[in-house]
Amino acid sequence: MNFLKKIFSKKQKVMTTTLTVSSENGFHLRPIAKFVNEVKQFLNTNIYIVAKKQKVSATQVPKILSLSLEQNDSFILECEGIEAVEASAYLSDFFIQMMKDDVVIEEVIQVKESYEALSIQGKTISKGIAISKLTEYETSEITQVNESNNSLKDAIKLTKEELYNLYQSNKSKHEAQIFLAQQELLSSDMFRYGCSTTKRFLEIIREEIKKLENTKFSSRISDYQDLQQRVLQHLGLSSIIKVPNEPYILFADDLLPSEIMKLQDTPIQGAILKKGTATSHASILLRSFGIPSMIINKDIKPSNRAILDASSGNLIHHPTPSDLTKAKTKQKAFQKEQEESYEKRFELSKTKNDKEIKVLANVSDLHSVNEAKEQGADGIGLLRTEFLFTQKKPSLEEQIQSYKEIFKCFNHLTIRTLDIGGDKELPYINIEKEDNPFLGIRGIRFSLREQKLFSEQLLAIYKAIQAVMPSPKIIKIMFPMISTVEEFNQAKQIAVNIAKQYNINLSNIQFGIMIEVPSVIFSLPQFNKVVDFYSIGTNDLTQYIFAVERTHPSLVVDAISPIIMKVLQNIIEQVDKPISICGELAGLEEVTKELIEMGYDTLSVSAKLIPSLKERIRHV
């Protein structure tokens, strides 16, 4: 009986903590979505936010958003249940760190410029100069554009999947958080349980928009409008944006994120918003796409030829010939400046303290290797060999030829042996279906089971290295999904035996592992004795630390969670061999400085991120 009392007492444990919003941006949609995602892991605890005489569930994005918590506002975090103590401590730390990390978008410093014709001043979103026809935003009425058998429930589900896919495909970019936030918004109870008809869905949207009107977070209204548009589209209902076929500058009250993504495929030269802020989702996307843009809260009329000088904050409706000459000169100078920055991609990336950071590329085939070379990669940090032959099993000669073409391109090369299983399959390799494929036969486990295939791949790599020698190349061979020292030793022994059998010189070949299974972290002193190098696969490491499948349609882990950053700090403090990061985290703008300060001096990212990453490093 006493035991039951203790259990009951523990369940009723209540912890309250007062937290203060410190970010200048306030507690807005993107951090709310991240916070809610963390709250959801405490399944046995009821967690609430108490503020402004309201008590709302900390798992409901719309309810938290409607509180309109601005900088210096405080709220009570209330946790009740078995994990109350742990939840309160973890979420408090997470919130405080999240507020510190919430980047304040600095106001663009405008360059003073004068024009002969009358100009209208505005606030710059994204620098640049556009000279084109000035066109007003216009859409058709929402109509049935195609037949759809989807129910409202289906449409909401499809929209959530669409947003998740957008998040995944843009994960390395700042704007990815927009899609994650919208997905969390649509996952709230009011949409899951509160609406069974399209009419009720639209009513809920209107009600939530009304709560945000005349608040600091009124710019989030467009997110509800965007969700409405996306859901209706899956019901066959849509409106069409009317834009010219020739180059144009668009002006509108506001633009939805989905509309901006569509507009980038049109000849848009610039954009003007009447409403919004520098931190609105429309502004973030306009910046990310490099569209010259401003916020001008004044009446604007169409014009056959206008100048949008977003660098100086001027809109000229009817420019004189002299104005046009000046604008064209400035436009060319701006483009040249952008090009020169791009041209610096081949230069070494050194911090202000003259510390060199190697920026390598994650590649999958010869095409991506050539792209990496063009973008200024210092080498290949991750060659995903499982993507080289996706349709049919290659012969030994075909493998050798493919590797040879790639090895000729760079002196710094890291090759990952086959990493299949989990969410990666090859049609010519039979892997038995498993209940938990991410915890089953994948990576090195598959290779150690299928040693003939593994041995053939190693031989092909060796033969290709021989074919491109003599050369100063040091080739690194990396084993994926290693979880114990014994696995590494077994894999390396197979590699050594193949080399002996075919009289291969291994003096220029190193063997290392991907750090992606948490057990490795607890065995690093032992691994230091046997490996030549490490590379951290942050995608899988994050997945296994949080026990959240990385392809899960609704569960999402913050890629730069304080926990992950602590893990990376722990790893760098223990290793005494060269180490790099080759997961998506390596390309995230928010953590470049932190990773370098930890001691990481080699980052491997997708090719398109290389020029911008190198430039960020130069400012650390």
**Tokens found for residue 421:** 């299983």
The residue range of the domain holding 592 is 356-617
For residues 550 and 298, what is the distance between their CA atoms, to the nearest angstrom?
46
116-120: long-range contacts (C-beta < 8 A, 24 or more apart)? Answer: 116/319, 116/320, 116/322, 116/323, 117/316, 117/317, 117/318, 117/319, 117/320, 117/323, 118/316, 118/317, 118/318, 119/314, 119/315, 119/316, 120/296, 120/298, 120/300, 120/314, 120/315, 120/316, 120/317
Contact 422, 438 (CB under 8 A): yes
Q: Which of 6, 18, 13, 12 is nearest to 85 (CA)?
A: 13
Question: How much is the average pLDDT of 356-380?
Answer: 90
Q: What is the pTM of this model?
A: 0.56
Sign of CA dihedral 455, 457, 460, 465: negative
The predicted-structure confidence for 386-396, as pLDDT tens digits, reads as follows 878 766 788 99
Question: What residue type is 305 in one-letter code?
Answer: R
Minimum mean pLDDT range among 185-199, 356-370, 497-511 = 185-199
Contact 270, 132 (CB under 8 A): yes
Q: What is the DSSP string of 573-590?
A: HH--S-EEE-SGGGG-GG
Contact 170, 564 (CB under 8 A): no
pLDDT tier at 556, thresholds 50, 70, 90: low
Same domain, 260 and 130: yes
Q: Could you tell me if residue 328 is inside a domain?
A: no
Q: Could you tell me if residue 15 is inside a domain?
A: yes
Q: Could you tell me if residue 330 is inside a domain?
A: no
* Bridge partners, 519 (sequence order): none
pLDDT higher at 1 or 373: 373
Same domain, 443 and 577: yes
Q: Which pLDDT belongs to residue 259?
A: 83
Q: Which pLDDT belongs to residue 5?
A: 45
Backbone angles phi, psi at 285, to 5 degrees: -70, -40
Same domain, 524 and 375: yes
The predicted-structure confidence for 66-77, as pLDDT tens digits, reads as follows 888 888 899 999
Q: Which pLDDT belongs to residue 241?
A: 77
The predicted-structure confidence for 300-335, as pLDDT tens digits, reads as follows 899 999 999 998 899 999 999 999 999 999 999 888
Q: Could you tell me if residue 579 is inside a domain?
A: yes
Alpha helices in 235-300, H assignment, sequence order:
257-263, 281-288
Q: Which pLDDT belongs to residue 3?
A: 46
Same domain, 257 and 176: no
Contact 241, 138 (CB under 8 A): yes
Q: Domain boundary residue among 238, 266, 293? A: 238
- Checking if the pLDDT of 60 tops 80, the result is yes
Q: Which of 57, 11, 78, 64 is nearest to 33 (CA)?
A: 64
- Checking if the pLDDT of 566 tops 90, the result is yes
**Which CATH number covers residue 306?**
3.50.30.10
Minimum mean pLDDT range among 134-138, 183-187, 243-247, 406-410 = 183-187
Question: How much is the average pLDDT of 471-475?
Answer: 71
- Checking if the pLDDT of 4 tops 50, the result is no
Q: Which of 129, 132, 117 is nearest to 320 (CA)?
A: 117
Q: Domain boundary residue among 293, 320, 347? A: 320
CB neighbours of residue 152 within 10 Å: 19
- What are the strands of the beta sheet with 268-273, ordered from one edge? 119-121, 314-316, 303-309, 129-136, 248-252, 268-273, 293-295, 123-126
Q: Which pLDDT belongs to residue 377?
A: 93
**Which CATH number covers residue 28?**
3.30.1340.10
Q: Which pLDDT belongs to residue 491?
A: 96
Same domain, 275 and 404: no
Question: What residue type is 534 in one-letter code?
Answer: Y
Q: Domain boundary residue among 201, 217, 238? A: 238
Q: Which of 398, 396, 359, 351 is nearest to 380 (CA)?
A: 359
Same domain, 572 and 469: yes
Question: What residue type is 26 in one-letter code?
Answer: G
pLDDT higher at 87 or 275: 87
Q: Could you tell me if residue 550 is inside a domain?
A: yes
Q: Could you tell me if residue 308 is inside a domain?
A: yes
For residues 184 and 179, what is the distance between their CA atoms, to the nearest angstrom?
9
Same domain, 380 and 498: yes
pLDDT tier at 487, thresholds 50, 70, 90: very high
pLDDT tier at 185, thresholds 50, 70, 90: confident
b/e burial code for range 37-54 (CB count within 10 A of at least 16 → b): bbbbbbeebebbbbbeee
pLDDT higher at 486 or 228: 486
Question: How much is the average pLDDT of 587-598?
Answer: 86
Question: How much is the average pLDDT of 251-266?
Answer: 83
The predicted-structure confidence for 8-32, as pLDDT tens digits, reads as follows 444 468 899 999 998 878 888 888 9
CB neighbours of residue 530 within 10 Å: 14
Question: What residue type is 607 in one-letter code?
Answer: A
Exposed, middle or buried: residue 169 (CB in 10 Å: 0-12, 13-18, 19+)?
Answer: exposed
Same domain, 230 and 272: no
| 366: Cβ contacts below 8 Å, ≥ 6 apart | 402, 405, 406
Question: How much is the average pLDDT of 183-197?
Answer: 80
- Number of domains composing the chain: 4
Question: How much is the average pLDDT of 267-291?
Answer: 84
Q: Could you tell me if residue 351 is inside a domain?
A: no
For residues 130 and 120, what is the distance between their CA atoms, to the nearest angstrom?
15
Same domain, 525 and 602: yes
Q: Could you tell me if residue 349 is inside a domain?
A: no
pLDDT higher at 191 or 118: 118
**Tokens found for residue 189:** 């109870």
**Which CATH number covers residue 504?**
3.20.20.60
- Checking if the pLDDT of 139 tops 70, the result is yes
Same domain, 229 and 252: no
Contact 518, 544 (CB under 8 A): yes
Peptide bond into 244 cis (omega under 30): no
Same domain, 219 and 259: no
- Checking if the pLDDT of 553 tops 60, the result is no
User: 139: which DSSP letter?
Assistant: B
Dihedral in degrees, nearest 10, Cα atoms 369, 592, 478, 387 = -40
For all residues of the chain together, what is the average pLDDT?
85
Same domain, 542 and 573: yes
